[in-house]
């Protein structure tokens, strides 16, 4: 018997049929003897509609009122799922963030969870009642509704699992787990049985959007075991079918490389021949940071004549804005030329095994060279090596690397 | 300068354009120097959709979950209106029932308001902030959301006006006031400038559905001056344009008859030759009451041979059920025959002036006789005389009486 938090996203509760299907899935776990709490998102499309209302009435609307409006989506689903569960003979009740209470800070629209009082919920779970929590929201210090930002229900679920000391937090999504890479590019991609928090974070931040980054960070910090599962499969037994996101220590046979991630939403900028003097990086990146432009890979080579070239990547959507900012700062920075390239892709090799295995990066470079793919920029962290290549090489690079690291399914 | 509660129903906040129009109307009152609080319903159609969800998932759904689901409709409108007001430069914030708090009893789905703490709202209104209350809901003794039953936002508004000691509660609807009768039947019907609570109650209960009956009862009890206004007219000045529902004492020139009401949703039942003995009424009406059938007009004539005929009216929708119940109780009651007639209409003459004027009923009987309309049943109260006639005479009877009591507009 385990204590489980089950979380269902918007597509999993898109209509009444899907809500009834979720109820059966929850009922199955209850009948198997588990203590279950559920976290739900708004029905697919509802949040977008409510956000649209607020934006149309006022582009710069009061975030506190936005929260009061948008939080209703999850409230509806929580009540409906409780009704559907009761109809199956499962004792259930809905809980709003303010009822538990689930306390957040006062950053309306993007609040952070501060505390969840899990005692009453645990007491009820022990006597067989299923709490159905409206995800994505809580109550702020001003006694008003707060929301956690888009995708915040994942974070609600992980935080609730921590507060309930749950054995596992099952996140039901429209994929059935975390794969070694995108199966649309590599049909031989394998579903991972387990992956570490660190690897999941690296995969999430390079575009494998299975879980919200914040929820993984929270799971890592609170040591919550998270499972990613498909909400479209039949509810069968308790055998783990998805991917478990756990502490590195729980993974006995560590793969050297767990996955290949890619992102095509990048653009490359090179600032040519800037003076090689202290403070020059701050002069380049200060104005971008002030304008909330997120800079990713940064490379700087020192050259002999007292100037240097700086290359970095940004989100492609920010390209025009970034160009304008750097042109405005031309006199201050003093560069010779500004080159931009929107046709780039970032390919990343991720794996905790890299820590103890040399040659991982070299395998990457050699594999890409063999395919005639030119590497424009290289960066690396403890468990990741990323390269920037021409966008047209994305699929070729991902497939070649997937094979080179022995990730192809038999 | 006055303190006003303004209430807007579902058609008045049906879409974003209408919500902006409501915001302008509220802003006008604020700019005129008044202290204003607003009560809103759900956007037209939303409540029906949410109720439909609950019913489809479970015909006998948990009323507490129903409340959690359905209460979101008003919550959305309150947040959106606050945003629209802020966009006009009016300081505003939304309030949910649980935030004020607006306390109700625990009768989920049809709760009654027990207490509203108005202090904080008054403090904020004094410094120019407009509280926008989500109508139709409160918080129960179980710390869960409750709703007041359909149309409950009128009651929310009147209760709030009482708690705030407001000078007036303005109810904006899709009609511009209370008329002497239905203008669709009598084009010369006049809008009443003032009407007493008692008359309003009689008119409401006989089918002039401008205000929810419960809200009028509450207004009478708490002495809240209610004004019925159209939300479709332009917001102009503070001159009273609708109909004021007030204490009888406020109406200086009392009309003998204020209005003619009618209801076509009636059915007549006659139980023939029941034994004329003590307890016979209980034998007839006990089973109906137990089955929640609402009995309206009741007439019993004593006859000589130890039996009597009992005639009464019920809602037409309850006719088949009522017949079945009475047939099942045939042995116990011991009647000779059961006659039913669904083709009847109730016509009522209402006016506080009847208290001091004789001959009102007689004018009614004479007028109907002149038109050749047969009266089937008569009942009367202190300020009302009602008759049951054949349904096909409805318009004729209403028009003739409207003229006979001098109600036609010049």
Asked whether residue B254 is domain-assigned, the answer is: no
Range of lowest pLDDT (A101-105, A290-294, B302-306): B302-306
Packing angle, helices B46-57 and B72-87, rounded to 10:
160
| CATH, residue A118 | 3.40.1160.10
Beta carbons within 10 angstroms of residue A141's beta carbon: 11
In angstroms, the CA B182 to CA B189 distance is 7
Same domain? B47 vs B161: yes
Task: Please write the tens of the pLDDT for every residue from A338-371.
Answer: 999 999 999 999 998 888 787 889 999 999 999 9
Provide mean pLDDT across the span B356-382: 90
Nearest by CB to residue B65, choosing from A61, A66, A83, is: A83
Task: Please write the tens of the pLDDT for every residue from A276-334.
Answer: 888 888 889 999 988 888 898 988 877 768 888 899 999 998 999 999 999 999 988 88
DSSP string, B245-279: EE-GGG-SS--S--EEEEEEEEEEEEEEEEE--TT
Closest CA to B158 of B212, B104, B107: B212
Degrees, nearest 5: CA angle A210-A211-A214: 150
Percentage of chain B lying above the pLDDT 70 cut: 96
Both tokens assigned to A23: 């109820």
Which chain A residues are within 8 Å of B72, Cβ to Cβ? 72, 75-76
Chain B residue whose CA is closest to A59:
B87
In angstroms, the CA B188 to CA B182 distance is 10
Sort strands A130-134 and A307-315 into parallel, antiparallel or unpaired.
Answer: unpaired
Same domain? A33 vs A86: yes
Same domain? B232 vs B380: no
Sheet of strand B243-246, all strands in order from the earlier edge strand to the far edge: B92-95, B130-134, B35-40, B3-8, B168-173, B226-230, B243-246, B194-196
Domain with B208 in it: 3-248
Q: Which long-range contacts (CB under 8 A, 24 or more apart) does B299-305 make?
A: B299/B377, B299/B378, B299/B379, B302/B276, B303/B276
The answer to whether the Cβ–Cβ distance between B62 and A83 falls below 8 Å is: yes
Query: Is residue A80 less than 8 Å (CB to CB) from chain B?
Result: yes
Provide mean pLDDT across the span B285-311: 85
Say if residue B323 is exposed, middle or buried (CB neighbours under 10 Å; 0-12, 13-18, 19+). middle
| pTM, full prediction | 0.84
Q: Place A208 in a pLDDT band, splitting at 50, 70 and 90.
A: low
- Domain end, chosen from B220, B248, B276, is at B248
How high is the pLDDT of residue B210?
A: 79
Number of domains in chain B: 2
Distance from CA of B245 to the nearest CA of A (A): 33
Asked whether residue A240 is domain-assigned, the answer is: yes
The answer to whether the Cβ–Cβ distance between A76 and B80 falls below 8 Å is: no
Both tokens assigned to B139: 């918080």
Q: Place B300 in a pLDDT band, splitting at 50, 70 and 90.
A: confident
The answer to whether the Cβ–Cβ distance between A72 and B76 falls below 8 Å is: yes
Say if residue A107 is exposed, middle or buried (CB neighbours under 10 Å; 0-12, 13-18, 19+). middle
Task: Please write the tens of the pLDDT for every residue from B42-57.
Answer: 999 999 999 999 999 9
Are A8 and A22 in contact by the 8 Å Cβ rule? The answer is yes
Does residue A254 carry a pLDDT above 90? Answer: no
Instruction: Write the CA distances from B135 to A333, B139, B160, B386, integer angstroms.
Output: 59, 12, 10, 34
Tokens 């890409």 belong to: A368
| CATH, residue A342 | 3.30.2130.10
Asked whether residue A254 is domain-assigned, the answer is: no
* Count of all residues that appear for chain B in the document: 410
Same domain? A134 vs A64: yes
Strand partners, B103: B115, B139
Distance from CA of A315 to the nearest CA of B (A): 32
Q: What is the DSSP letter of B335?
A: -
Closest CA to B230 of B301, B171, B276: B171
No. of helices (H) and no. of strands (E), chain B? 13, 18
The answer to whether the Cβ–Cβ distance between A19 and B57 falls below 8 Å is: yes
Average pLDDT over chain B, rounded to an integer: 91
Same domain? B50 vs B163: yes
Same domain? A53 vs A133: yes
Q: What is the DSSP letter of A239?
A: S
Nearest by CB to residue A58, choosing from B62, B71, B86, is: B86
Task: Please write the tens of the pLDDT for every residue from B37-91.
Answer: 999 999 999 999 999 999 999 998 999 999 999 999 999 999 999 999 999 999 9
Same domain? A245 vs A264: no
- Domain end, chosen from B199, B227, B248, is at B248
Interface A–B counts its CB contacts (< 8 A) at 111
Same domain? B48 vs B130: yes
Are A228 and A211 in contact by the 8 Å Cβ rule? The answer is yes
Both tokens assigned to A76: 């509806």
Say if residue A42 is exposed, middle or buried (CB neighbours under 10 Å; 0-12, 13-18, 19+). buried
Closest CA to B121 of B87, B156, B171: B156
Partner A, chain B 9-38, Cβ-Cβ below 8 Å: 16, 19-20
- Sequence-separated (6 or more) residues with CB below 8 Å from residue B40: B7, B8, B13, B22, B74, B77, B78, B81, B132, B133, B134, B135, B153
Same domain? B154 vs B69: yes
DSSP string, A360-395: HHHHHHHHHHHTTPPP-EEEEETTEEEEEEEGGGHH
Same domain? A222 vs A264: no
Say if residue A88 is exposed, middle or buried (CB neighbours under 10 Å; 0-12, 13-18, 19+). middle
Sort strands A168-173 and A3-8 into parallel, antiparallel or unpaired.
Answer: parallel
Chain B residue whose CA is closest to A98:
B98
Q: Place B305 in a pLDDT band, splitting at 50, 70 and 90.
A: confident
- In degrees and rounded to multiples of 5, residue A184 shows phi and psi of -70, -25
Percentage of chain A lying above the pLDDT 70 cut: 96
Asked whether residue B253 is domain-assigned, the answer is: no
């Amino acid at each position: 018997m385990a204590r489980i938090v089950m979380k269902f996203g918007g597509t999993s509760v898109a209509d009444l049929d899907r809500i009834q299907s979720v109820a059966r899935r929850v009922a199955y776990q209850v009948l198997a003897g588990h203590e279950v709490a559920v976290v739900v998102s708004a029905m697919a499309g509802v949040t977008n509609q409510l956000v649209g209302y607020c934006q149309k009435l006022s582009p710069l609307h009061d975030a506190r009122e936005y929260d009061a409006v948008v939080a209703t989506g999850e409230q509806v689903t929580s009540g409906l799922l409780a009704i559907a569960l009761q109809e199956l003979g499962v004792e259930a009740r809905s809980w709003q963030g303010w009822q538990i209470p689930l306390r957040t800070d006062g950053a309306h629209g993007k609040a952070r969870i501060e505390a969840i009082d899990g005692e009453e919920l645990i007491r009820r779970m022990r006597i067989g009642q299923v709490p159905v929590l409206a995800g994505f929201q809580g109550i702020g210090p001003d006694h008003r509704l707060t929301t956690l930002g888009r995708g915040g229900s994942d974070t609600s679920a992980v935080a609730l699992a921590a507060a309930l000391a749950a054995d596992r937090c099952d996140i039901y999504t429209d994929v059935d787990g975390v794969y070694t890479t995108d199966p649309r590019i590599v049909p031989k991609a394998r579903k991972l049985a387990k992956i570490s928090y660190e690897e999941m974070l690296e995969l999430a931040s390079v575009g494998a959007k299975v879980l919200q980054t914040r929820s993984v960070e929270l799971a890592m910090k609170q040591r919550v075991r998270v499972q990613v599962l498909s909400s479209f499969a039949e509810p069968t037994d308790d055998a783990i079918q998805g991917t478990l996101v756990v502490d590195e220590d729980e993974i006995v046979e560590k793969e050297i490389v767990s996955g290949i991630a890619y992102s095509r939403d990048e653009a490359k900028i090179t600032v040519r021949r800037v003076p090689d003097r202290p403070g020059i990086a701050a002069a380049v990146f200060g104005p971008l940071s002030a304008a909330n432009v997120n800079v990713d890979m940064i490379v700087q080579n020192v050259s002999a004549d007292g100037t240097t070239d700086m290359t970095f990547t940004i989100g492609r959507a920010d390209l025009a804005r970034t160009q304008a900012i750097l042109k405005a700062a031309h006199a201050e920075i003093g560069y010779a030329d500004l080159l931009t390239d929107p046709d780039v892709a970032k390919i990343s090799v991720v794996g905790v095994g890299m820590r103890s295995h040399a040659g991982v990066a070299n395998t990457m470079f050699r594999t890409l060279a063999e395919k005639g793919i030119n590497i424009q920029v290289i960066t690396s962290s403890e468990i990741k090596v990323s390269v920037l290549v021409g966008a047209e090489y994305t699929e070729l690079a991902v497939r070649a690397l997937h094979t080179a690291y022995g990730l192809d399914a038999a």
